[in-house]
């Protein structure tokens, strides 16, 4: 126990200073005030993002800047993992797998764009992480694969292999990548649940609380976006949902899923799960498509905020748990998304107030 306490005390000391920097709103405010992308890059350097600034100075390529920021995020988790062992280390490993899975999906999209739609992809492959994150994956082989079997071979020995074998090239040509990517996401979340459940005592309580909240929020978004806006049939909709959560098991969700897509009522779904969302989602019977999109966007922003509040609360809980590392991962991930969104907005000349309104 003493060893665990000492380990967490060390990690907390290393991370809390970084968390303080991430939580400081000045970076976001300064970036939004920047009059141009070049000025925004300069602000990044002032706030300690020397690598990202250097990449832009050398290449002038915004996507390589984003790749540099992502590599920094990966390295942070790798460094945390070094100080842990057993189940806590396994949990950090799965958080790295989440990043790896997104990178892998991007590689698959490039291959799909080339092999199925016959579009040029050579220049875009430079924006992938090619180095090993957790599993031995040959990203170059995936991008240049002639057959889907070549792709399965590129992930051989990893859990992705069994997921990929559930599909064929004919499936992907006929149905696109949606079901394929969903299968990857479901497996990664299953790994995250297992890793959280394998923890002990306070670590387990914190990790499962965070996990179940995240899954609930993801399911709400799926039910609204795909069950209401895209009106997926019941058999397809239920396959998208993540288990282990209150929303997944609720009677209101079951009724909502089994209702004809055109007759689904969001208010009834949210009333049992998140009643305070009623002010965001109003009666949809006369909504235009644009209004529906805006409501979904508002819902996503609200749920994202709720998730952030829960992770923030972890920082005020028991100090010698994995909570600080989990909170850091979330806040770091959130910061990466916000920085990339602002830089992208500056690149396209979008007004600062518009960018601010779009940031989740």
pLDDT, tens only, 277-330: 666 665 454 556 677 777 777 777 777 777 777 777 766 666 567 878 888 888
CA–CA distance from 272 to each of 219, 241, 257, 296, 297 (Å)?
14, 17, 14, 18, 21
Radius of gyration of the chain (CA): 21
Give yes or no for residue 1 having a pLDDT over 50. Answer: no
pLDDT value for 156: 95
212 shares its domain with 192: no
Q: Which two tokens stand for residue 250?
A: 């609720």
Is 345 in contact with 358 (CB distance < 8 Å)?
yes
Q: Does the reported pTM lie above 0.75?
A: yes
Q: Which of 179, 199, 219 is the last residue of a domain?
A: 199
226 shares its domain with 144: no
How many structural domains is the chain composed of? 3
Domain containing 175: what range? 85-199
Would you say residue 214 lies in a domain?
yes
Residue whose entry in the numeric block shows the structure tokens 């590392």: 325
Q: Which of 199, 229, 245 is the last residue of a domain?
A: 199
263 shares its domain with 277: yes
53 shares its domain with 23: yes
Most confident of 95-99, 241-245, 269-273: 95-99
């Amino acid at each position: 126990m003493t060893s665990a306490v000492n380990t967490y005390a060390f990690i907390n000391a290393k991370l809390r200073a970084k968390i303080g920097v991430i939580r400081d709103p000045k970076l976001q405010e300064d970036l939004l005030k920047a009059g141009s992308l070049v000025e925004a890059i300069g602000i990044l350097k002032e706030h300690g993002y020397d690598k990202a600034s250097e990449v832009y100075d050398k290449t002038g390529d915004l996507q390589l800047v984003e790749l540099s920021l992502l590599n920094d995020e990966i390295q942070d988790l790798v460094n945390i993992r070094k100080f842990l062992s057993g189940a806590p280390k396994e949990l950090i490993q799965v958080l790295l797998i989440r990043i790896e899975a997104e990178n892998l999906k991007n590689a698959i999209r490039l291959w799909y764009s080339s092999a199925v739609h016959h579009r040029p992809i050579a220049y875009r492959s430079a924006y992938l992480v090619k180095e090993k994150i957790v599993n031995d994956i040959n990203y170059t082989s995936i991008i240049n694969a002639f057959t889907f079997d070549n792709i399965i071979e590129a992930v051989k020995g990893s859990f992705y292999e069994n997921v990929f074998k559930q599909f064929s090239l004919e499936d992907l040509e006929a149905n696109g990548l949606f079901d394929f990517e969903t299968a990857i996401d479901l497996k990664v979340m299953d790994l995250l649940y297992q890793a959280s459940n394998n923890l002990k005592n306070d670590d387990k309580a914190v990790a499962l609380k965070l996990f179940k909240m995240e899954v609930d929020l993801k399911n709400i978004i799926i039910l609204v976006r795909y069950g209401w806006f895209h009106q997926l049939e019941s058999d397809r909709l239920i396959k998208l949902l993540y288990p282990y959560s209150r929303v997944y098991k609720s009677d209101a969700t079951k009724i909502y899923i089994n209702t004809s897509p055109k007759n689904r009522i969001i208010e009834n779904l949210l009333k049992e799960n998140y009643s305070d969302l009623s002010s965001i989602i109003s009666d949809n019977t006369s909504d235009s498509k644009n209004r529906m999109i805006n409501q979904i966007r508002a819902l996503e922003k609200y749920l994202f905020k709720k998730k952030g509040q829960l992770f923030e609360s972890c920082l005020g809980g028991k100090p010698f748990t994995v909570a600080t590392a989990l909170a850091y991962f979330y806040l770091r991930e959130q910061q990466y998304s916000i920085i990339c969104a602002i830089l992208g907005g500056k690149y396209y000349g979008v007004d600062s107030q518009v960018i601010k309104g779009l940031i989740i």
